[in-house]
Chains A and B, each alone.
Chain A
Amino acid sequence: MDAGLDMRTTGTKSDDSILSILRLIVQGIVSIAKSHWVTLVNFWRPTVCERYPHKDKSLDYKPGPGYKGDFALITDKEKGRLRCIACQSCERACPNHCIRVVPAGKGKDRYPAEFYIDVGLCMNCEICVEVCPVDALTMTPDYECSVHDPRDLIRNIKQLTERGMEFDEVSRVR
């Protein structure tokens, strides 16, 4: 059989007899009808789209723990102070150099006076969280980080502490 009649969908061995050509035609019609049935069924199925910010803001769009969103500093609620001991491990470990910690105090009272993270520069590698010896730094499921001014992307210690108030442990998948 030549190329023009080669419209079969299956790998059936074909010859030039009129019966096999008719069989091919019937097969083609049946398969076309089947595919149209599939699209018709899908047409009436409910859509899977979430119209995220527009439809229903009350819906919880938050991803689960372990999502690498915005940063937070965890507060030790018993001692009433940040867990962070300003050891600057995160600052040294950051491949992008987007963390800056200004330590204050001596010995056991050492604490961060300033803690800047440029989340615009961050590449979400989470090495800072891994190296932290006291599990003070975490990434949270908060992902709505868009701002109009890139300078607003630099987090300071106040923002980081506020966001960390709802976390007792580092947010990660167990």
Chain B
Amino acid sequence: MDSSLIFTIGNALRTWLEGLCRAHGVPTLVVDILAWGTGAVLVVVLGLLVALFVIWLERKVAGYIQTRLGPTRVGPVGIFQTAMDALKILQKEDIIPRGADYWLHLAGPVLYFTALVLGFAVIPWDVKATLAATVDLNVGLIYVIGVTSVGVLGVVMSGWGSNNKWSLLGAMRAAAQIISYDVPLLLALICVVMVAGTLSLTRIVELQGSAGILGWYVFKPYLWLPFIIFVICGTAEVNRTPFDIPEAESELVAGFHTEYSGMKFALFFLTEFDHMWFVGLLGATLFLGGWYSPLGAADPIPGFVWLMIKSFIFVLVLQWFRWTLPRLRVDQLMGLAWKFLIPAGFVALAIVCVAVLFI
């Protein structure tokens, strides 16, 4: 099915509702709010479904890398395993430890989840850009960095509110790590922005797609270094192995979510895997040409599907990292960010400066 059909239906519905509003003297803002709300709910639900799928994928990939099978029992190839796990975790008792700060303990996972979901608002899903949920902000990239960085506040709140030394240590490590890795990540993103000349994610994708597959930024040699930095920092931002010291099982039990159970833990878990997919979406948008097909404009497959395929390539690569590399020590982690990636980011910036000036 062509995605333009959905837009036609949506626009027709919108026109009809607006007519209805005018006829009854209701401000048409109501229709806008309704459209935004519908889109937001759609994106959140999609995000949660994808998170369940990514968790299943992770377990399968882990299995095959270790030459075992992974989940096989629930549904074909175990595809409903994580859905059943979610049902199980819903029934669990919600434990709040003695001496915990109730409101911070509650707000931690909520903020962690909300910060990530806000980031989905500006992802350009398809060629006609504004599906109701997607806002084409002209400062889209700054918005993404801004709202997703708020998530670390949720981590610190949950670590402090749990009244547990492991949680607190994990939260402080997470804060240090995410703030450190934001710097080289920003340097890598600045390179992209310099080449594109805009901060709008939709516009960045359009600029890449206009020149065919070779216009994608991943195929420009002067953007290879920023791309590598982006992948490394993306892994660190998601707190995944080899950068998972905030929850290092062997040292900190489970880090900042040691004291969580039931739905709050599920929220942390889903957000973590959703974040991985979000990094994939961002990478696909900035470097792999977003919704554009590698086959050219005549491709009948909707752009949304291509975006999903590209983002899942990123997800698979991150999972490959996780099941290959051991965890870094805390000082090694900081050393990698401040002594390697930030200088490398400045080198990349210099290269891109020259390239933008002379190419």
- A42 to B332: give the CA distance in the assembly, Å: 28
A23, chain B: closest CB distance, angstroms: 14
**A39/B65 contact (C-beta < 8 A), A4-B334, A5-B335 known:** yes
Which of A43-51, A111-119, A152-160 lies on the face that meets chain B? A43-51
Q: Which of B63, B323, B332, B339 contacts A39 (CB 8 A)?
A: B323
The total of chain A residues at the interface (CB under 8 A) is 21
Interface contact A36-B320, CB-CB below 8 Å = yes
- Kindly list chain A residues whose C-beta atoms are within 8 Å of the C-beta of B338: 4
Interface contact A48-B67, CB-CB below 8 Å = yes
CB < 8 Å A-B pair total: 52
Interface size class of B (residues with CB under 8 A): 20 to 34
A32 close to B (CB within 8 Å) = yes
Interface contact A47-B325, CB-CB below 8 Å = no
**A5/B339 contact (C-beta < 8 A), A32-B325, A42-B67, A46-B67 known:** yes
B324 close to A (CB within 8 Å) = yes
**A4/B66 contact (C-beta < 8 A), A39-B324, A51-B72 known:** no
Q: Which of B72, B324, B331 contacts A36 (CB 8 A)?
A: B324
Q: A4-B335, A5-B339, A39-B323 are in contact. List 15 more A-B contacts (CB 8 A).
A: A4-B338, A4-B339, A7-B332, A7-B335, A32-B325, A39-B320, A42-B64, A42-B67, A43-B61, A43-B320, A44-B64, A45-B67, A46-B67, A47-B64, A47-B69
- CB-defined A-B contacts under 8 Å, sample of 14: A3-B332, A3-B335, A4-B331, A7-B335, A25-B340, A35-B325, A36-B320, A36-B321, A39-B65, A42-B64, A42-B67, A47-B64, A49-B69, A51-B69
Closest 3 A-B residue pairs measured CB to CB?
A4-B335, A39-B324, A49-B69
User: Which residues of A are interface residues toward B (Cβ below 8 A)?
Assistant: 3-7, 25, 32, 35-36, 38-40, 42-49, 51
